[in-house]
Amino acid sequence: MPALATLHREAPLGTGARHDHDAPAGVIKFQAPEVVFGAGSLREAGFAALRLGARRPFVVTDSGLQGAGWAECLDRFLADAGLDATVWSGVTPNPKDHEVAAGYERYLESGCDVLVALGGGSCMDAAKGIAILTCNGGSILDYAGVDRVTRTIPPMLMIPTTAGTGADVSQFCIITDTANSVKVTIMGRALVPDISLTDPSLLETMPDDLAAATGLDALTHGIEAYVSRAHNPLTDGHALSAVGLVFGNLSQMIDQRGSAHHRSNMAQASLEAGLAFSNAILGATHAMSHQVGGLLDLPHGVVNGVLLPHVIRFNAAVGGERFVPLAATAGVGRAIPADEVGEVLADEVRGVADRLGVPKGLAELGVRDSDIPTLARNALADACLSTNPRSTSEADLADLFRAAL
């Protein structure tokens, strides 16, 4: 078996959101893993792990996926490829700092090499957190911010079971700081997985509420990536495609549970939105949503569904031109002037949220007016805010939180 060090990859500095100092003006850097996509592709998991040098893969999943039988299927496909996997299922929604620490200890005990995540964004972020600690040490919270991971990490194979988070292709890792009830954003090219394997068949067992939440997350990724200060022609195409796919398939996937067509389209939407936001980064919706989720341990996509219309109106008020193609992709059926597009697109997004049963405001989710100063202060420090298209102050964030209450 090859030494663990030979299986690790270098952790390059810099992110897709900015240029290195010696990069020529106009040069675009687009980070992406190898992508395996299609119904039945879970059978390829063993071969994918082998390409990464695996002998003893460490599978990060959760109890729900074990109950659904997907973890057992994956273990069988890994074994068919001659791999002896260790399965760890200690992840809960909005993965916690102590869960990452526990997974890291189990990884060390197991003598594993490659990390394989099977699940939604929580499992994939937990796997990234374990990978960070493996060769960098300390607490996972030490790496909050941009490019704090400077040492090599183990290879990573990501297998999403939801359609929305994009963690399987992104340079983001979101972990809950339980002592302070906030989510921390860890970002850097070192966190882009080596292989993303998307089998739309795995979406069959996704509960309706999870399908709605993750689908709204994909929609938010596409919209925020398209208007981001760091957008570029490569991210634009993926972002617009993802937005169109979500508007055309999310509600239908939930209403028509047996439709493989809509599942495949939503899986593609998640993938393309992930490629877009990983390279263009995000904006105020995510900076705010992270704080609400950290405070109340709420589904990230549901919070996005409440906040996104308010942020669209705020951003479009000073840069509506950029939102015109998004409105067209959403299928509004007419050309919208730039000074009206924010309201129209926000209403379209809210309409999707209404059809999916998303609460009208944050108060229904448990947010109180007294929470807003803390939420606004913490959102101001979130890395996602740096690429919001409109400069945003703490007072602006507080006003947005109150509007969404």
Asked if 379 and 347 sit in the same domain, the reply is: yes
Predicted confidence at residue 25, as pLDDT, reads: 66
- The enclosing domain of 56 has a CATH number of 3.40.50.1970
pLDDT more than 70, % of the chain: 94
State the Cα angle at 377 between 322 and 384, rounded to 5°.
35
Q: At a CB cut-off of 8 Å and minimum separation 6, what does 356 contact?
A: 212, 215, 216, 250, 251, 254, 305
- Where do we find the tokens 């067209």? 328
- Last residue of some domain: 201, 232, 249? 201
State the Cα angle at 229 between 223 and 231, rounded to 5°.
65
C-beta neighbour count of 182 within 10 angstroms = 22
Residue 362 within a domain: yes
Give residue 334's pLDDT band: very low, low, confident or very high (50, 70, 90). Answer: confident
Asked if 188 and 248 sit in the same domain, the reply is: no
The whole-angstrom separation of Cα 318 and Cα 297 is: 33
The reported pTM is 0.93
Burial class (CB within 10 angstroms; exposed 0-12, middle 13-18, buried 19+) of 343:
middle
Domain count of the chain? 2
Asked if 239 and 321 sit in the same domain, the reply is: yes
Residue 4 within a domain: no
Contact 60, 115 (CB under 8 A): yes
Longest dimension (CA), the chain: 62
Asked if 263 and 190 sit in the same domain, the reply is: no
On the question of pLDDT at 9 being above 80, the answer is no
Specify the pairing of strand 182-187 against strand 172-177.
Answer: antiparallel
Asked if 353 and 262 sit in the same domain, the reply is: yes
- Last residue of some domain: 201, 221, 240? 201
Q: At a CB cut-off of 8 Å and minimum separation 6, what does 240 contact?
A: 222, 226, 325, 326, 329
The whole-angstrom separation of Cα 57 and Cα 55 is: 6
- Last residue of some domain: 159, 179, 201? 201
Asked if 348 and 324 sit in the same domain, the reply is: yes
Predicted confidence at residue 318, as pLDDT, reads: 95
Cα–Cα distances in Å, from 320 out to 53, 198, 316, 365, 369?
A: 48, 34, 4, 30, 30
Could you report the per-residue pLDDT of 350-399, keeping only the tens digit for each?
999 999 999 999 999 999 999 999 999 999 999 999 999 999 999 999 99
Asked if 392 and 305 sit in the same domain, the reply is: yes
Q: In what order do the strands lie in the sheet with 182-187?
A: 145-146, 182-187, 172-177
C-beta neighbour count of 98 within 10 angstroms = 14
Domain range holding 300?
207-403
Predicted confidence at residue 14, as pLDDT, reads: 38
Mean pLDDT value across the chain: 93
Helices 208-227, 260-280: axis angle to 10 degrees equals 40
Region 217-242 average pLDDT = 98
- Where do we find the tokens 């939102």? 323
- The enclosing domain of 388 has a CATH number of 1.20.1090.10
Residue 6 within a domain: no
Residue 273 within a domain: yes
Predicted confidence at residue 394, as pLDDT, reads: 98
Predicted confidence at residue 10, as pLDDT, reads: 38
The whole-angstrom separation of Cα 115 and Cα 125 is: 12
Burial class (CB within 10 angstroms; exposed 0-12, middle 13-18, buried 19+) of 207:
exposed
